[in-house]
Amino acid sequence: MIRARYAQAADIFAEALDRPEPDRESFIADACEGDDELRSTVESLLRSDADASFLDTPYTHDDSGAIENIDRLDRAVAVGHYRVRGRIALGGMAAVLLAEQENPHREVALKLLFLDGTASDTLTGEAAALGRLQHPNIARVYEAGTATVTLDDGDSFTASYIAMEYIQGVTLADFATSKTLDRRDVATLLLSIAGAIGHAHQRGVVHRDLKPSNILVDHDGGPHIIDFGVGIVRDGNTSSTASSLAGTISYMAPEQLLGQLDRIDTRADIFALGAIGYELIAGKPLHAGVEHLDDAVMARIVESSPAAGATFRAQAGGQLARVLRRATEPSLDRRYQSASEFAEDLRRVIDGRPLDADDASAVRALAFYARRHKAAAGAIVVVFVTLAAAVAVTLAASSATERALVLAESSREDAAQQA
């Protein structure tokens, strides 16, 4: 039933993409025939198709007061007890402001949402997810709620907000564009992100929308996950099943794309990590060129991973390609089962160690050692040659001595016979 409804949503989504953007809203409303859940799924697919962060999502709500408030944000001087110092980013449905907190004194990133009917619930959910997490590669949350936004002329309005750690950096996508990342660089970045996601998973949080625009890289090259807005918070006594479709197409696992909400768990995040790694190496998204989720496209995505191709193996190298292929495995059972398992193989790639028993033969192990320790390997070769030469000399001397003893014994026997 879930899959059938998702297929219906995918058909409407595909038709909506073919229409001019101003006409899409009315088309979707007519096609969904008052089915709010179906319409929500279609709109989620459209947002995902934009492949952007929440700040770039076009504002479609008809609350003119909210739109006016967005336009007035440049004049904001305070949000509650936070003093506004500037604007970090502004989009159609949200904004991020740079602000200063007096006690304790620190810079914070204030994320404000203007969808009045859902903003509070959205931010409360994100704050609940982030509040569980304390990891150096995850932006910390300090506070969430509703506050008065004060403008420079004394006017004010109310908005929902979340106060987060301010990370000075660029998105992972921009970082990759500005740098030349080799295989080791990519594996190292993924290892840090996997450690953060593993920390979240251990505390019952599934991200569901990992992508380069949701990861900031600081000036030291360290990645930080900044957006858990569609994450699932799991408790010991509650179900882990997602209640709605969420994610970005290029990084969504097949079970997400198929609308199999009851199968979405931590392994969806591992798939997204693999998709990010693929993009960093290949320079294009895992599902590049996907514009319509028709049956042929869905079948291709569900049956194989682009990371299994020969071209990608040549780009990534055999080991890293194997890791990313397994991370993006369409089958849940054949995918990495935990972030720690994924991270351990990344460590092996970085260290130049064999991935598993298949790689651990004597010849392959010696080859891995030689790549990791070139100087030591050279010394071993020298020692081996020296020992071989010494053994050869010893064997030759031993053979000559043995021949001399045989001749001496033969001469003694001849002399005895003559006597």
**CB distance 272 to 255 below 8 Å:** no
Instruction: Please indicate whether residue 185 is annotated as part of the active site.
Output: no
Which is the catalytic residue, given 11, 23, 74, 209?
Answer: 209
Joined tokens for residue 323: 């890791």
If residue 152 lies in a helix (H) or strand (E), which one and from where to where? none
- Which DSSP category does 212 fall into? G
* Contact assessment for residue 328 and residue 302, using Cβ atoms and an 8 Å cutoff: no
Residue with tokens 């995040």: 269
Distance in angstroms (rounded) separating the CA atoms of residues 369 and 10: 50
Amino acid at 202: Q
Structure tokens at 222: 């360290």
CA angle 155, 157, 159 (to 5 degrees): 150
CA atoms of 320 and 314, how far apart (whole Å): 10
Cis preceding-peptide flag for 330 (omega within 30 of 0)? no
Beta bridge partners of 106: 101
Token pair listed for 232: 């699932």
Q: Where are the alpha helices (DSSP H) in 19-152?
A: 21-32, 36-49, 64-71, 119-131
- CA distances (Å), origin 359, targets 316, 317, 321, 328: 17, 14, 14, 21
- β-pairing, 205-206 vs 169-171, is unpaired
Find the DSSP H helices in 203-245: none
CB atoms within 10 A of CB 403: 10
Q: Which residues contact 261 (CB under 8 A, 6 or more apart)?
A: 2, 241, 242, 243, 244, 245
Residue 99 CB burial class (10 angstroms; 0-12, 13-18, ≥19): buried
Give whole-number Cα distances, 101 to 136, 138, 303, in Å: 21, 20, 51
Residues marked as catalytic: 209
